[in-house]
């Protein structure tokens, strides 16, 4: 690992922090004339419309975590339609009086800008294609765009390395979609969104009785070749992120991660074949942000930079976990109704039991849905509790990895008391650092946004930052954000299941958060903030169905 490359990642991270007296570099206004098209399409590619599945009462949301269904056969057209409909599709359209409409999606996005693109790589599936192929998913039309076909022997070379019945879902990012609004900080937000998309695919797959794992062994160049992103150039080009294996589940939990070594014949075929369709132009003009180009180059996951990285099997400490009754909410309903709160009412509270249930889901890193990631947890949570019944307001910490506790105790303020809260389950590593009214602190830290103080609680996601980068290398930087996005996706759905609502907060004063905790240096860095509470609905807005067929 080049120390200079690592330093360039650290420099980017430091440079893109918000401060009380200045924000990270951006235009400072919205150039509506160059607003990017939120939908990537490949003009000229064949479109295969997918089914629009109705809501099903089963499985329930809670059963995904306690008694997941197991699928016996490979995914068919109906299952593929549901997989994308419940992960990357539109969830609704919104319209304000006298204005145009805008779309919402199942997978959330910073600023609703949606830089994440999805791909399907699969064997022949009746009703979709009679040959193995690479498809781009179009959320605008809920259709697959066939971009390239593979010979049967090419797919066989991939399939032989995967669990039976596997399909592959690739994710890429268009940084320009975020930097149009957020400038240099956009690279961070794009990778939050990748984490949200990983979570969305994982949860949608679980409703089908399937498991999802991040594929290891494939580098960024190979992934770009696989999905055709290597053909794109310029500021609107897609950058390869990750490849997910979705396969029929089993009755016993799996912790293994598939590793793919793409056969040379497959890479040669894809590098030389014609990918159908031309990517549409997203904007008439662009504002370059060289800092994003530089950090993208520094974090490029090549075979050399990843070295001999191996997945690290990890299970949460064994304990008698407390179980909660199934709330009988259909999983698909919770997934499709997810929205980002735009304001909180400052009144709604949460029962202590519901709060502990939510944190237990977020904490058990070795279990669903966190088993999708091939590494021990790198993120713990600092929580500002405002309105939890029978729980004192204050600053708490949820230690998601037992190895974090001694390091955090050493790193934070010495006067913090580290007390177990009343009624906390024995296997939930939640600690109260100090009891106090933290509403003003939470609001100030979150760029003075009242949404952080008017909810039930808000939190900052603390990454074991410097140690992770030194252990794995600069290419691991985006993956820290993926984990925060996955946590955020689960927080969104847990809030919906509890009858309230959440929203991610990307605008926060990084080092002010660190000062509140007493953190210095780069050992721990807060990468993403989140808040949950009683939403205030804007009654002026009209909600429309996502697709005309609905």
What are the residue ranges spanned by the domains of the chain? 72-92+102-303, 340-533
DSSP state, residue 111: G
Provide the greatest CA pair distance for the chain.
Answer: 66
Neighbours of 134 (CB within 10 A): 24
Question: What is the pTM (predicted TM-score) of this model?
Answer: 0.96
- In sign, the C-alpha dihedral spanning 58, 64, 65, 70 is positive
Contact 413, 423 (CB under 8 A): no
Fold adopted by 340-533: NADH Oxidase (3.40.109)
* CATH pick for 72-92+102-303 out of 3.40.109.10, 3.30.70.80, 3.20.20.10, 1.10.1490.10: 3.40.109.10
Instruction: For the chain, 550 residues long, give each residue's pLDDT as a single digit of tens.
Output: 578 899 999 999 999 999 999 999 999 999 999 999 999 999 999 999 999 999 999 999 999 998 888 898 889 999 999 999 999 999 999 998 888 888 999 999 998 999 999 999 999 999 999 999 999 999 999 999 999 999 999 999 999 999 999 999 999 999 999 999 999 999 999 999 999 999 999 999 999 999 999 999 899 999 999 999 999 999 999 999 999 999 998 744 454 678 888 999 999 999 999 999 999 999 999 999 999 999 999 999 888 888 767 777 666 555 445 578 999 999 999 999 999 999 999 999 999 999 999 999 998 766 899 999 988 899 999 999 999 999 999 999 999 999 999 999 999 999 999 999 999 999 899 999 999 999 999 999 999 999 999 999 999 999 999 999 999 999 999 999 999 999 999 999 999 999 999 999 999 999 999 999 999 999 999 999 999 999 998 888 899 999 987 5
Contact 399, 429 (CB under 8 A): yes
Q: Which residue has the tokens 């735009």?
A: 342
Spatial distance between the Cα atoms of 203 and 88, rounded to a whole number of angstroms:
11
Spatial distance between the Cα atoms of 510 and 525, rounded to a whole number of angstroms:
8
Q: Assess whether the region 72-92+102-303 and the region 340-533 belong to the same CATH fold.
A: yes
**Residue 411 neighbours by CB under 8 Å, 6+ apart:** 517, 518, 519, 520, 523, 524
Spatial distance between the Cα atoms of 122 and 131, rounded to a whole number of angstroms:
9
Does residue 47 have a cis peptide bond before it, meaning omega lies within 30 degrees of 0? Answer: no
């Amino acid at each position: 690992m080049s120390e200079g490359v690592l330093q360039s990642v650290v420099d980017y991270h430091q440079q893109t922090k918000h401060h009380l007296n200045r924000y990270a570099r951006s235009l400072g206004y919205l150039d509506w004339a160059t607003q990017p098209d939120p939908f990537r399409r490949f003009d000229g590619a064949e479109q295969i419309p997918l089914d629009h599945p109705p809501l099903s009462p089963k499985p329930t949301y809670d059963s995904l975590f306690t008694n997941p269904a197991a699928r016996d056969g490979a995914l068919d057209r109906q299952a593929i339609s549901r997989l994308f409909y419940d992960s990357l599709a539109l969830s609704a359209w919104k319209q304000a009086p006298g204005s145009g409409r805008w779309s919402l999606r199942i997978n959330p996005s910073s600023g609703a800008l949606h830089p994440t693109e999805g791909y399907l790589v699969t064997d022949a599936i009746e009703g979709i294609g009679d040959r193995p192929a690479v498809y781009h998913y179009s959320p605008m039309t809920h259709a697959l765009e066939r971009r390239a076909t593979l010979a049967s022997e090419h797919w066989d070379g991939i399939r032989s390395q995967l669990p039976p019945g596997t399909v592959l879902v690739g994710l890429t990012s268009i940084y320009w979609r975020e930097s149009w609004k957020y400038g240099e900080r956009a690279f961070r937000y794009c990778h939050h969104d990748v984490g949200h998309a990983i979570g969305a695919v994982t949860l949608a797959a679980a409703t089908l009785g399937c498991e999802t794992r991040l594929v290891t062994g494939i580098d960024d160049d190979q992934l770009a070749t696989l999905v055709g992103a290597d053909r794109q150039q310029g500021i609107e080009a897609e950058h390869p992120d990750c490849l997910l294996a979705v396969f029929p589940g089993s009755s016993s939990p799996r912790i293994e991660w598939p590793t793919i070594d793409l056969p040379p014949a497959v890479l040669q075929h894809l590098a030389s074949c014609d990918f159908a369709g031309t990517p549409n132009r997203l904007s008439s003009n662009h504002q370059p942000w060289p800092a994003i180009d530089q950090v993208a180059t520094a974090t490029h996951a090549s075979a050399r930079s990843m070295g001999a990285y191996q997945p690290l099997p990890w299970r949460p400490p064994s304990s008698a976990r407390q179980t909660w009754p199934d709330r009988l909410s259909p999983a698909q309903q919770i997934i499709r109704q997810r929205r980002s709160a735009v304001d909180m009412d400052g009144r709604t509270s949460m029962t202590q039991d519901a709060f502990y249930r939510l944190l237990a889901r977020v904490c058990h890193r070795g279990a669903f849905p966190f088993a999708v990631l091939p590494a021990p947890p790198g993120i713990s949570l600092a929580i500002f509790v405002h309105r939890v019944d029978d729980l004192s307001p204050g600053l708490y910490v949820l230690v998601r990895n037992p190895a974090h506790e001694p390091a955090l105790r050493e790193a934070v303020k010495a006067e913090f008391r580290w007390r177990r809260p009343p009624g906390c389950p024995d296997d939930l590593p939640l600690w109260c650092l100090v009891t106090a009214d933290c509403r003003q602190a939470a609001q100030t830290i979150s760029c003075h946004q009242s949404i952080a103080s008017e909810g039930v609680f808000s939190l900052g996601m603390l990454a074991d930052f410097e140690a992770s980068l030194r252990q794995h290398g600069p290419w691991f930087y985006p993956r820290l954000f993926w984990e925060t996005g996955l946590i955020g996706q689960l927080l969104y759905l847990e809030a919906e299941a509890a009858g309230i609502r959440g929203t991610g907060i990307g605008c926060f004063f990084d080092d002010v958060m660190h000062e509140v905790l007493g953190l210095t240096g780069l050992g721990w860095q807060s990468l993403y903030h989140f808040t949950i509470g009683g939403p205030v609905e804007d009654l002026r807005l009209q909600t429309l169905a996502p697709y005309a067929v609905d």
